Amino acid sequence: MAETHFVILCVDDEPAVLHPLEIMLKRRGYTVVTAADGPSALDLFRQIKFDAVVLDYSMPGMSGGEVAEKIRQENATVPIILHTGYKELDDPLLANVTSTLPKGSLNFLITKLNDLLPAVAPVSAPAPPTEASPEVSPEGPAAQSAHVA
C-alpha cells in the first residue's frame, strides 16, 4: 500500500485504545504520533505540523474539549476528530471539534479521515516539480497519486 503522507496526532490516556488506533492508522499508510494526555499533545502540536488530530474526550488533567480549544487557537483549520465513549456531551468547547465519533468505531474513523483529508495537502508531500528538475516523470504527480489508497 502506498503511503498517504498524512501526519495524524492521536491522543488518548488509555493504551488499550491508543495502541490499536495507532496500528490501524499506520497500516493504512498514515504517519502517526501519539500522546497520552492533553499537555503532551499540545507540546507535540507546537513542534510538528499535523494534518489531523484524533482526541479522546475524557482524560485526566485536561479534557479533549480543552485540548481542541487550544489547538484551534493555534490552527483554525486542522481537522479535529473527537473519539469518545460518551453518547452525549454537553461541552461548549466541542464547538472546536470537526467531528465526533464513538470509540470502537475505528472503521468509521478511517472513513472520516479519508473524507476530511483529501481537501488538505499532506504536510510531508514532496515539493512540486520545477523547471529546474528535469528528472521528474512526464506523467507528473497525478500518476503517482493514483496509487495512493
DSSP code string of 104-139: T-HHHHHHHHHHHGGGS--TTPPPPP-TT-TTS-TT
Looking at domain 7-125, its CATH superfamily turns out to be Response regulator (3.40.50.2300)
Domain ranges of the chain: 7-125
Contact residues for 17 (Cβ-Cβ < 8 A; gap 6+): 56, 83, 103
Confidence (pLDDT) at 116: 82
User: What pTM value is reported for the model?
Assistant: 0.72
Residue 31 identity (one-letter amino acid): T
Confidence (pLDDT) at 31: 94
pLDDT block averages, 10 residues each, the chain of length 149: 74 92 91 96 96 91 92 94 70 71 74 75 47 40 37
Q: Which residue has the cell 473519539?
A: 83
Confidence (pLDDT) at 137: 37
